[in-house]
Amino acid sequence: MKLNSISLLALGVIGATTALAQPAETILTQGKIISANEKETIFQALAIRDGKIVALGKSTEMKSWQGPNTQVIDLKGKTVIPGLIDSHMHAIRAALSYSTEVHWFGLTSIDAALGKLKQAAALAKPGEWLVVAGGWTEEQFKEGRRPTQEELIQAAPNNPVYVQWMYEWVMLTPAAYKVLNIQSESDLPGGGKFQLDANGKPTGAIVGGIVPLFDKLPKPTFDDKVTGTQKFFGELNRVGVTGVIDPGGFNMAPSEYAPLFNVWRNNKLTVRVNYSYFAQKPNKEFDEFKELTQLLPMKFGDDMLRFNGIGERVTFSMYNNDKATPADQAKLYEVARWAAQNGYTITQHWHENASVASLLDVFEKVNQEFPIAKLRWSIAHLNNGTEATFNRMKALGIGWAMQDAMYLDGDKALHRHGEKNLERMPPINTALKVGIQVGAGTDAHRVADYNPFIALRWMLDGKSASGRKLRGNEEIPTRMQALKMYTSGSAWLAHDEAKRGTLEVGKLADLAVLSEDYLTVPIEKMANIHSTLTMVGGKIVHQEVGK
C-alpha cells in the first residue's frame, strides 16, 4: 500500500471547469483514507457532492473543490474506512425491541451484567418486564458462568425477568413464571424442559422451545418499535456500520416490517438495509413467497431500503437439515426453481459441511434450467466448509455470508468439533484462495454482538470471548482482507459493489472516521475502535461530541 493522489485530469468524467462551477459540499482533509479498492490505495483527502465521492487525493488537491459553502473537516490524521456492511444481521428484528430491552453486549463480568439489570429495574415500573434477549455468553464474563435465578431476583425484585442465551437456554425469575402462568413443564411451549441441578431441583432455567417461549412475552408498542429502530441503527452508525443485509428471522411476520418502513418513509433511516423474507409458515412456504412477492420484485426499493430476495429459511425441512430426504430436497427445489426463474436472490442458512451436498445438489439442478450466477445466491454460516464445497459454490456463483460465531460460541464448539477441527473454523483463507465472494458479519443480536470491530478482531486473532485461541494461523486473513470482506464483499451480496464498499470516485460517500487506526492498532485493542464520525451518502449520521 502507498500514499497516492489522483489529479483532476485523472478523474476523467469530472473536469476542472465542472469542479469549479460545482464545488464540493464536504471535504475531508489531512487524514489517512483507506480506499479498500483493488490496489488498496491510501489517500489523504476526499471531496463529496450529491452524496457521492467526486475526488480523492492529497489534501492540497482538494482546494480546487472548495467553494464558499463547502464544509471542510480536518481529520487531524484520523483513519477513514468505507462504511462497514454486515453481511448477515437480524437488524430489523433487533431494532424492534432495542429500546425496551436490557443489553449485555461487551460486558466482562456477571457483576456488570447484574448492574445493568439493576439500573433498568430502577427506571421500570413495578411489574414491568425486563428482557435480555441475547448477544452475550458466559465466556465473556470473568466468572465464566451464567447468572443464577437468585442473582436476577436480587437485581430486580419487583419485575419479571427473562434472560436468553442463544436459542438454547432461558432463565426466568419466579415473577416471570407467575405472569406467564407456567407451573409445570406441560405449560412450556415448543417442548421446552426445566433445567435441573445436580440434586434434581429446577434451577429456574428452561432449555429448548425458546422461540415460542419468547413469543409469550409482551410485545413493544408500535411507537417503541419505531424508536428502537432509530436507536439501534444509530448505535450501528456509532460503530461504523452503514449497511446491513438482513435475512429476516424467527418471529418476523410481515407486520413486523412496518416500523422499519415508517422510519424509511420519514427519511430517518441511517443504515442502508437490504432485506430478505424468511419463511414463517411450515409446509406453506412456496405459497407464502408467491403471495408476498407479487408486488415485491427483486431489488425493489431505493438506495436506503431494498428487497434482496428470500431466505435464510427457504423451506422448513431444509433449514440446516443434516438428514435431508429426497422429499425435503424436492420441496426446496420447487421454491428455488421458482426463485431462479423469477430472478430472486436466495440466502440459505446452513451449518454443517457434512450435509451441505444435499443443498448444493438442489442448487446445481436448478442451475441446469435457470443459471443462477447473476442472482448472487449465498450460504450463511457454514463454519466448517471445505475447499471442495467452496469450489462447488464458486462454479455456481454462490457467495458465503461468514460470521464470527466462533467468538461467542467457540469454547462450546470446541467440545462438539475438537481442537483440530476448530483450527480451521471458519476456513476464511481457504475460501479466499478458491475465489468465492465472502461477506463478513455477525448474525446479531440474539446469538452475537453487533459490534463489527469485535468480529474483525476475531477474524484476525481467532480467539473466543474467553481469550482462547481456536483458529490456526493458516486461516487468519490480513487486516486489509478482513476489511474488504466487511465492505466490498458484503456489498457484492447486496448487488451493490458498483455503488459502495470502497472509497472511489463516483461511489456513494458511505464512510467512517475511526477513533484508532485500523491498520496499526494492536489487535487486542481493536474491539475498542468506534467511529467518531459516520456518513451515509455524504450525510453525517453520527458524530462524537467534541470531535
- Stretch (H or E) spanning 437: none
Query: Given this model, what pLDDT does residue 160 score?
Result: 98
Three-class secondary structure of residue 213 per DSSP: helix
∠105-107-110 over CA atoms, to 5°? 120
Which contiguous run of DSSP H or E holds residue 365?
A: helix 356-369
User: Could you count the other beta carbons within 10 Å of the beta carbon of residue 159?
Assistant: 22
Q: Are strands 511-514 and 531-536 parallel, antiparallel or unpaired?
A: antiparallel
Q: Which three cell numbers stand for residue 171?
A: 432463565
Nearest to 49 by CA among 500, 545, 537: 537
**What count of other Cβ atoms lies within 10 Å of the Cβ of residue 123?**
8
The model's pLDDT over 134-144, given as tens digits with 9 standing for 90+, comes to 999 999 999 99
The fourth-level CATH superfamily of domain 222-528 is Metal-dependent hydrolases (3.20.20.140)
Does residue 15 surpass a pLDDT of 70?
A: no
CA–CA gap between residue 422 and residue 29 (Å, rounded):
44
Q: Which three cell numbers stand for residue 17?
A: 471547469
Q: What is the mean pLDDT of residues 473-498?
A: 98
Phi, psi torsion values for 447, nearest 5 degrees:
-110, 5
What is the torsional sign of CA 26, 31, 36, 37? positive
The answer to whether 260 touches 307, Cβ cutoff 8 Å, is: no
Read off the pLDDT of residues 166-184 as tens digits, 9 standing for 90 and up: 999 999 999 999 999 999 9
Q: 3-state DSSP call for residue 412?
A: helix
Quick: pLDDT tens for 410-465.
888 888 889 999 999 999 999 999 999 999 999 999 999 999 999 999 999 999 99
Q: How far apart are CA 541 and CA 536, in angstroms?
A: 7
Q: Please identify which residue in the block is written with the cell numbers 492529497.
A: 58
Same fold, 98-214 and 222-528: no
- Cβ-contact 220, 98 below 8 angstroms: no
45-49 β-sheet, strand order: 52-57, 45-49, 26-29, 71-74
pLDDT(20) > 70: no
Domain map (residue ranges) of the chain: 98-214, 222-528
Distance CA 450, CA 86 (A): 9
Find cell 475526488 and name the residue.
55
From CA 45, how far away is CA 27, in angstroms rounded?
Answer: 7
**Which pTM does this prediction carry?**
0.95
CATH class of 98-214: alpha beta
Residue pair 518/527 in contact by the 8 Å Cβ criterion: no
The residue-averaged pLDDT of 310-332 equals 95
Tell me the mean pLDDT in the region 60-77. 97
CA atoms of 324 and 291, how far apart (whole Å): 26
Which pLDDT score, from 0 to 100, does residue 546 have? 72
Task: Judge whether 165 and 146 are in contact, CB under 8 Å.
Answer: yes
% of residues, the chain, pLDDT over 90: 93
